[in-house]
Chain A
């Protein structure tokens, strides 16, 4: 695309869709924090983006391979059902929120609430992440190779979280579980496939204590205030 001639989300996405009619790979140059870029894209295409994206980048991805060489705002890959999203930069809060399939890989640091309410799929943060990762996680896998903040897995009902570095207090209904050989095999094959640099032996695994959560009961962390706007 011709940098500088189109600047709004609507213009960028419209041109992107037009190009995807004719080409399997499309490149976007000079992104300047626009929101909702490359959203709802289907299978069989690749989008390479250079610059910095705003919020909801690559949301509702439906099978495309999307690469961003730069940072992204909040909720990257939101509600993805299928496909691959690669972010070579830092991302804001809520990466991988609501995803039910596909893989999101961030080679950089992430804010909090990574993979909240995810139902399936994989989110990998090759760096550090903030508080409340896996909030309400119902399924799928979150991998953070670095450190994470407090309340990881808070109100988690399913899925796994692997943490390569240190973590703060674990949230309600999460607990550390031993790293079994199948976990190591999974991580090894994941890291190999996506060229992720990390030592598998150091990882900690967090699972749901009780998948049959009674949501109507108060619990020991009732003094924890869930995150709001940041």
Chain B
């Protein structure tokens, strides 16, 4: 499967890249949300099986109750309850404006789900918005540790140890100097006028076993009451997932290669990481072998989820909840122009230019996000009901069929027509 950032005309794309590199001697670096690039919807090769005579009769989505909630850390004092198996990714303050963060937190809170705030901190304003509207904030414990302290961790509704981002797992990050305002510098404890660097790895995790100590550290700070999630990029999914489960995570979050990234080497964005369709089988294998489901560990997936159909398919493939990053951004007004790393975002989202930021009405944008999330949840409900299920937890591989040989081979889902799993899966 191709990754999603290449131009339809690969030859033209390659020539353009060669010329650019010949000119400046640097690896290509660009935001991957550019709509001029051909993108393949990752779940297009799967269809939903309606329930008719053979299995349950369909459920009437308008007249019967449907259970869609997800609990992360179900054995803890303060579990994280999502009303819908969809959560919001809010990129770091710096990458996106304060108003954009407010909009994402507001919209996610109104929809009754959690907002995962990148780069470690939640602004006071966001905490107020979330608290006022019954929202949940998940704090990211990343390799830069910007804004991380004991109080922040103790206040979080959950803490996510981020080992990698899906679009560029294993690479370091740079926030360009032009996007660093005095407020951002203060929160991140960095200087104005030069790039801010985030290491490729946690500098206090020398060996794989150290992740267990950091989970323990966070549990000590949060009195063993708050869920701890481990986020990995789509890489060696089976072994990494198993490792995170054995380290004691309440949920494993796999951020797949389709995920949005503002900038950084195209060579990593285009070549590294497992796309979303490829993570379910190895992750499920790790869950099965460790007995994780029985212990209440959840599998969270982020990829390119755009509608309720994508969410349904991810849940049927074994995911407990999915993260929406690109779609959430678009719902608050992003037009996917691909200029995120320039600070010139006309929509007031990927910018810290006060004039541009003022173009974003965060309350209105937040309401739009709420509408989008509600509509997406409703789409999920429609599909769940026509599958004859009252509860999303009843969904499984039998609710799907693959329309292509490749997708059947990758996912282990029955191929249409053949109506069986491929021989390679018959064991």
Contacts and interface: CB of A to CB of B under 8 A. Distances in A.
A100 B217 contact: no
B190 interface: yes
Contact of B213 (A36, A139, A157): A36
B132 interface: no
B189 A74 contact: no
A153 interface: no
A81 interface: yes
A98 B145 contact: yes
Interface in A33-87: 35-36, 39-42, 55-56, 59-62, 74-75, 78-79, 81
Interface stretch (A114-122, A176-184, A186-194): A114-122
Interface in A100-128: 100, 113, 116-117, 119-120
B190 A119 contact: yes
Interface string B380-400: 000000000000000000000
Interface stretch (A23-31, A197-205, A207-215): A207-215
From DSSP, what is the main secondary structure of chain B's interface residues?
A: loop
B294 interface: no
Nearest to B264: A216
A62 B151 CA distance: 8
Given A10-B224, A97-B203, A136 B197 contact: yes
Interface residues of A, number: 46
B52 interface: no
B213 A35 contact: yes
B203 A113 contact: yes
Contact of A135 (B148, B150, B203): B203
Contacts of B203: 94, 97-98, 113, 116-117, 135-136
B26 interface: yes
Given A39-B220, A135-B203, A136-B199, A60 B193 contact: no
A138 B150 contact: no
B153 interface: yes
Contacts of B210: 55
A212 B193 CA distance: 8
Interface residues of B, number: 35
Interface string B183-205: 00000011101110101000110
Nearest to A14: B223
Contacts of B144: 117
Q: Shortest 4 CB-CB distances between A and B: which pairs?
A: A40-B150, A229-B207, A229-B206, A40-B221
6 contacts: A40-B153, A40-B221, A56-B217, A60-B217, A79-B148, A97-B203
Interface of B: 26-27, 29, 144-145, 148-151, 153-154, 172, 174, 177, 189-191, 193-195, 197, 199, 203-204, 206-207, 210, 213-214, 216-217, 219-221, 224
Given A41-B150, A97-B204, A138-B189, 14 more contacts: A10-B224, A35-B213, A39-B220, A40-B150, A60-B149, A62-B150, A79-B204, A81-B149, A93-B206, A94-B204, A113-B203, A139-B189, A157-B194, A213-B197
Interface of A: 9-10, 13, 35-36, 39-42, 55-56, 59-62, 74-75, 78-79, 81, 93-94, 97-98, 100, 113, 116-117, 119-120, 135-136, 138-139, 157-158, 211-216, 227-230
